[in-house]
Structure 1
């Protein structure tokens, strides 16, 4: 976690210079760009970071590594490493589900950690899933969302990708619980790297969809915010009343 925030701070400093240069170039050309998405008040900065992350880092570093990982690392090794990493997060999930009053899922997280840490050899084998205890991991960001704390502005972090402000403000809390609290900085770096690599490899099938999008940045932003809401509401995202009213008015006009 310490590594993550150190890198984020360095990236923000670098990104600020990039945005400043882009702004000077736009002024020189007499071009003024306005952004109107209330969820994304920093869109100028975020788009600059998207270009850095997607067109530079992902294209030349993350994507080749992810494809090599998917194509050449045997599936049992990939599954074992991912299970091991995710098993470390079960205790924090137990706490977060308890804070939301989701007693069944809290017990599920505790049971999964106990079974997989013992019978499953520190979590390498997901024995609990074989016993019908499916994985559902909640982080502290979801706890805040459950109690009505809004997402806050969307933020594209350099090197790390999309976030909402609520995540940035609360992400450190999950690292306070055992066993994450016992990891050294370098162990946390390895854990983050393995988890990110597995997630990036899993997204390979969506690359063509993203590459063909009219505006990949907007596509990712909308998808990510929907993903955050989906997790907070456990898939039962309430409909937007304002959107429903606008749709009703539109249909009435058509009639």
Structure 2
């Protein structure tokens, strides 16, 4: 049983993100006079190149190269409303996050980095060499399809009957015509859009706050509400009801590696270039929380 719950925790890690950059957007195409451009190039020639993490932290679009190709990343900037007992620093500087669990979080962040560096990342890179991107995409489709019952239950509990209906339709169509979810005819042929809903989304619907920032062993960065969601969904996942050990462990391991493979290089790049990786990834997570709170799902 101990081994089973350990693997369930590993499965849950696949549901969390190491970092969540926003959608790439086109860079500014504005031009400068030739003389100004030459002067700027000359000034920059002798200066130290700004890292990707520093560019993102300063609100600039940056370009990084990974095994998946070249990616243009623009930071998501969200206004962080200050607490009532805090006042802004002079010059409009951002107010630092209190981080009440900082001692625990930093220890777990270091532990996770070692685990990723010496276990998950090598496995993910080996996985990429064995399976090409189109095959990995189909594997991802299958795992997304088997999760549809969780989406359905959470949408129903949130009162989103239309979303729950879409979950049911997608699950039936993709499990049959789509060959156990490897393909997505529900979208391609029937125009049934995805309607993802997690336990965290359901709790948010009932005005449950996200709580303090929390780094979990192996699972990565989250918060109290998100941690409840990840652990709860790992225990309630349909795979637990459909497959017995040891086959269950093999499938869970495949899901973890497949989910992590597309983010491994990006994680390494941002970690190496950040002045303080813990602060950088923490702030990116907090920005993502604010962004999600401001987003209203269409009915």
Distance, in Å, in 2 between the alignment partners of 1:92 and 1:8 is: 16
Question: Aligned runs of 1:65-144 on 2, under 5 Å?
Answer: 65-131=123-189, 132-144=191-203
Distance, in Å, in 1 between the alignment partners of 2:174 and 2:116 is: 33
Contact 2:124–2:261 (Cα < 8 Å) also in 1: yes
Residue-pair matches, total: 208
Q: CA 1:186 to 1:133, structure 2 compared with 1: closer, same or farther past 3 Å?
A: farther
Distance, in Å, in 1 between the alignment partners of 2:284 and 2:3 is: 27
Distance, in Å, in 2 between the alignment partners of 1:127 and 1:47 is: 44
Distance, in Å, in 2 between the alignment partners of 1:4 and 1:228 is: 31
Aligned to 1:154: 213
Distance, in Å, in 2 between the alignment partners of 1:4 and 1:226 is: 34
Superposed structure 1 runs of 4+ greater than 6 Å apart: none
Contact 1:151–1:164 (Cα < 8 Å) also in 2: yes
Aligned to 1:197: 257
Provide structure 2 residue ranges, at least 5 long, that are not aligned to the other structure.
10-95
Distance, in Å, in 1 between the alignment partners of 2:166 and 2:275 is: 42
Q: Equivalent of 2:244, from 181, 184, 190?
A: 184
Contact 1:96–1:138 (Cα < 8 Å) also in 2: yes
CA RMSD, aligned part only?
3.0
Distance, in Å, in 2 between the alignment partners of 1:84 and 1:147 is: 30
More helix by share: 1
Contact 1:46–1:156 (Cα < 8 Å) also in 2: yes
In structure 1, the residue corresponding to 2:183 is in which secondary structure? coil
Aligned to 1:243: none
In structure 1, the residue corresponding to 2:119 is in which secondary structure? helix
How far did 1:79 drift? 1.8
Q: CA 1:218 to 1:62, structure 2 compared with 1: closer, same or farther past 3 Å?
A: same
Larger RCO of the pair (alpha carbons < 8 Å, separation 6+): 2
TM-score of the aligned structures, taking structure 1 as reference length: 0.69
TM-score of the aligned structures, taking structure 2 as reference length: 0.60
Matched, 1:216 2:277: yes
Q: Equivalent of 1:49, from 100, 108, 114?
A: 108
Distance, in Å, in 2 between the alignment partners of 1:230 and 1:2 is: 37
